[in-house]
Structure 1
């Protein structure tokens, strides 16, 4: 499991959430959830899809 932190909308280095999801899919990862971790930061939980299914 990986937590990827990226700047929120108000930051000059803002990254579209769709770009994060597209990059995760390209890397073979599955998006699990998104959370707000600080005023200017969001986080996306990513995991190997096979490892995630095995834990269920």
Structure 2
């Protein structure tokens, strides 16, 4: 796999690329950012739609 994505509970997205056997961070985005990152740079990703809203207490 040449690219990776990470999602944290902090509502953050990060893009990585595998170069010479090491993962190199391409960028970090959070909140309502809009992102164009490899290998999906042809489309704009809206991070806001990825975050799960907190469930109300039972």
User: Under a length normalisation based on structure 1, what TM-score does the superposition of the two structures give?
Assistant: 0.31
Instruction: Name which structure has the greater RCO, CA cutoff 8 Å, separation 6+.
Output: 1
Q: Normalized per residue, which structure has more helix?
A: 1
Structure with greater Cα Rg: 2
Higher share of residues assigned strand: 2
